[in-house]
Chain A
Amino acid sequence: MTWLCDGSLEGFLCALYESFRLRRLPERLTRDRSTIDLFEEVYDIHTDDETAAKMMAHLRVQLAPDTLRRILHTTLCDDAAYERELLLYTRLALRDDKALHDLSQPVVFAIEGYEKRLMRVVHRMYGFVRFEMLEDSSLYARIAPPCNVLPLIGRHFAKRMEGERFIIHDTSRNLILVWDTVNLAVHPILEASAPILHAEEQRYRGLWKSFFESVAIEERKNYKAQRNFVPLLYREYMSEFA
């Protein structure tokens, strides 16, 4: 049977709860309704916040912090079909957490792989976010990363821009991360209008672009290496590649 959940962390926790309640595993667990065939038997999992909170409290008590963190992180990899593997991984962790060391177990390897990939994207975003200064001297950046790293990159920028207000806007998920020099928060939005830039913004963008071009050594140019390090999908909002 195929189980269908809503793709949120709560949805996943409810699916986990169901697997314990029904004492069975789904053949497939997915959040994507479009992948379901006409004649497939589907169990639509109702997301209930109370059940999710109970499940979460249980995991918090039962699992090592590292394992829990890994589970939470995996739910942010929204470009991968991680659900069933994560379900198996969580059940394995609850049953026997020593088995989590055994990397040759496909489930363990897969989940560690998802987290590793997510952290790689996080690290890349630390470098590749490009802020623009707006009219009111606050900073605004647009990103479109392959997985949902917005909740993970806030602290890093808040630490170094303590005194600056900034917004990071994930245009592919319509989420914004706001730092107002005191609080850090993620909000969903419907739409965003084009920002009005600071008078100096174009000048610094020009200076950055000319620095970027001057620093390359002609005799060593290597576009392949460049593309390995900055894949095209990250370049959309990086002004030096515009």
Chain B
Amino acid sequence: MQYFIQPFHKKSLCQNEIFSPHIFHKYYNTIMKLEEKLQILTDSAKYDVSCSSSGSTRGESYGSLGATHASGICHSFSADGRCISLLKILFTNHCIYDCAYCINRSSNDRQRAAFTPREVADLTLNFYKRNYIEGLFLSSGIVSSEDHTMELIAKSLEILRFEHGFNGYIHVKLIPGASDDLIRRVTKLADRVSSNIELPTQKSLALLAPEKSREKLFAPLELVRNDALEQSKHPIGMSTQLIIGATPESDYEILRLSSALYNKSLLKRVYYSAYIPTVSHTLLPALHTPPPLLREHRLYQADWLMRFYHFSYDEILSPQYDTLDERFDPKLAWALRNLHCFPVEINRADKETLLRVPGFGMRTVIKILRARRARSLGENDLKAMKISLKRARFFITIQGKRVKQTTLKYEYLQNQLLALEKPKAGTQPSLFDRFQSFTGEL
């Protein structure tokens, strides 16, 4: 691996004329303990949110170890409550680029490390056999050149697939700018590939990541899609990630972009990642700005409405309403703006209409559709099926009757629904409820 001995490393050793073992260990990561590398390279990869191991359509089998599971499997959950499904690591966090938002940018003073392809394969196999993981998620900083980095990733995959006959899930981050042949080589071996757009508009990209452009980021995804279309194959699952809150784009612009990406059959999934300031930069939110987690959550809800509930982006938001309501989920907010569509009779409405009732999800709707085949449903039947009407009751009729007295007036509903959102009483006060204890709310 010629790249472990880079001029940069050599220089730093030569400058210290006295040999100092701690610096030697710091830069020569062939000697760095595997455990330390794993820590550094996990730490650098963790801001990538994608971790799904579902929906693999790879037909080929490489050997006897491993399989994929249609629904995906979560093997553990980390302290932040996120699923751990894949061994999510960077191949290396060395990077020649200097993107302002990225923790691994070249100007950031950070401990650097790199795996060897064999180490990646060894970790994956041993974790897999112990059922720690569902497979591998391999991303990388760009070391020396795009092609060189992609080559190292391809090598890791080839060791796994060909040498060890590994059949588990592999998700690879394509390196924008790598040659078409390398991208094809990697895509052939992976279950899912992705390329992060990171910033929703060209303008923001130019500002924060001047070396990247929208075209360059999309190029590998388009290449893979076009290849699949030419061979009229089912394209490999692809995804991307957008950072939320680092730049001033509105929710409307973000959803419009996601919608366009889904419609072009380019992507299976767009991930949203609330920006966590890891580097200080004049163009970015200050360090210690709390990540906009609620906004991220609302965007995911809106995304689900587009992918599973047949909403289009311009129903959820419009240039006038360009921000998702923080108080209400997007479906409820849509219903409040479109009261003329309600009330809905649960015994007669079709599936699409029922899905648009706030408080009804896919499972509830399926339950209703199944049960009403037997007979017309009353309120008690819904109760017996444990269907919650907390939110839905304002928008439905059951056998022509309202559940409770209610009117379809915007102000009335808003107040009623806000009252539902209030935190439950009787929770134990914590030390941090300072504000509440001063105002006597306790």
Q: Are B65 and A161 in contact (CB under 8 A)?
A: yes
Q: Are B291 and A220 in contact (CB under 8 A)?
A: yes
**What are some 5 contacts across the A-B interface (CB < 8 A)?**
A126-B73, A133-B130, A211-B39, A214-B38, A217-B82
Q: Are A101 and B374 in contact (CB under 8 A)?
A: yes
Q: Are B371 and A102 in contact (CB under 8 A)?
A: yes
Indicate whether A230 reaches chain B with its CB closer than 8 angstroms.
Answer: yes
CA distance A226 to B134 in the complex (A): 19
Q: Are A98 and B374 in contact (CB under 8 A)?
A: yes
**Chain B 129-143 near chain A by CB (<8 Å), digits 1 or 0:** 111101000000000
Indicate whether B25 reaches chain A with its CB closer than 8 angstroms.
Answer: no
Stretch binding the partner chain, chosen from B42-50, B94-102, B155-163: B42-50
Q: How many A-B residue pairs have CB under 8 A?
A: 154
Q: Are A131 and B131 in contact (CB under 8 A)?
A: yes
Min Cβ gap B119→A in Å is 11
Min Cβ gap B204→A in Å is 22
Stretch binding the partner chain, chosen from A51-59, A87-95, A103-111: A103-111
CA distance A113 to B180 in the complex (A): 51
Given A204-B126, A215-B46, A160-B76 contact (CB < 8 Å) = no
CA distance A42 to B276 in the complex (A): 65
> Which residue of chain B lies nearest to A137 when distances are taken between CB atoms in the complex?
B129
Given contacts A105-B384, A217-B47, A225-B81, 12 further A-B pairs with CB under 8 A are A104-B384, A109-B386, A126-B69, A127-B85, A129-B131, A159-B67, A204-B126, A215-B82, A220-B274, A220-B276, A222-B80, A226-B78
CA distance A225 to B274 in the complex (A): 17
B→A interface (CB under 8 Å): 34-35, 38-39, 42-43, 45-47, 64-67, 69, 71, 73-85, 87-88, 123, 126-127, 129-132, 134, 167-168, 274, 276, 290-291, 293, 367, 370-371, 373-375, 377, 380-382, 384-386
If over half of A's interface residues share one DSSP class (helix, strand or loop), that class is named, otherwise mixed; here it is: helix
Q: Are A104 and B385 in contact (CB under 8 A)?
A: yes
> Which residue of chain B lies nearest to A225 when distances are taken between CB atoms in the complex?
B81
Contact of B83 among A130, A141, A161, A229 (CB under 8 A): A229
Q: Are A160 and B73 in contact (CB under 8 A)?
A: no
Min Cβ gap A95→B in Å is 15
Q: Which of A207-221 contact B (CB under 8 A)?
A: 207-208, 210-221
Chain A residues in 8 Å Cβ range of B126:
200, 204
Q: Are B75 and A127 in contact (CB under 8 A)?
A: yes
Q: Are A238 and B371 in contact (CB under 8 A)?
A: no
Chain B residues in 8 Å Cβ range of A208:
127, 130, 132
Q: Are A130 and B46 in contact (CB under 8 A)?
A: no
Q: Which 10 A-B pairs have the closest CB atoms?
A: A225-B81, A104-B381, A102-B374, A214-B42, A216-B78, A222-B81, A216-B79, A220-B80, A162-B64, A229-B77
Min Cβ gap A5→B in Å is 27
> Which residue of chain B lies nearest to A234 when distances are taken between CB atoms in the complex?
B76
Q: Are B131 and A211 in contact (CB under 8 A)?
A: no
Q: Are A101 and B371 in contact (CB under 8 A)?
A: yes
Contact of A219 among B34, B85, B291 (CB under 8 A): B291
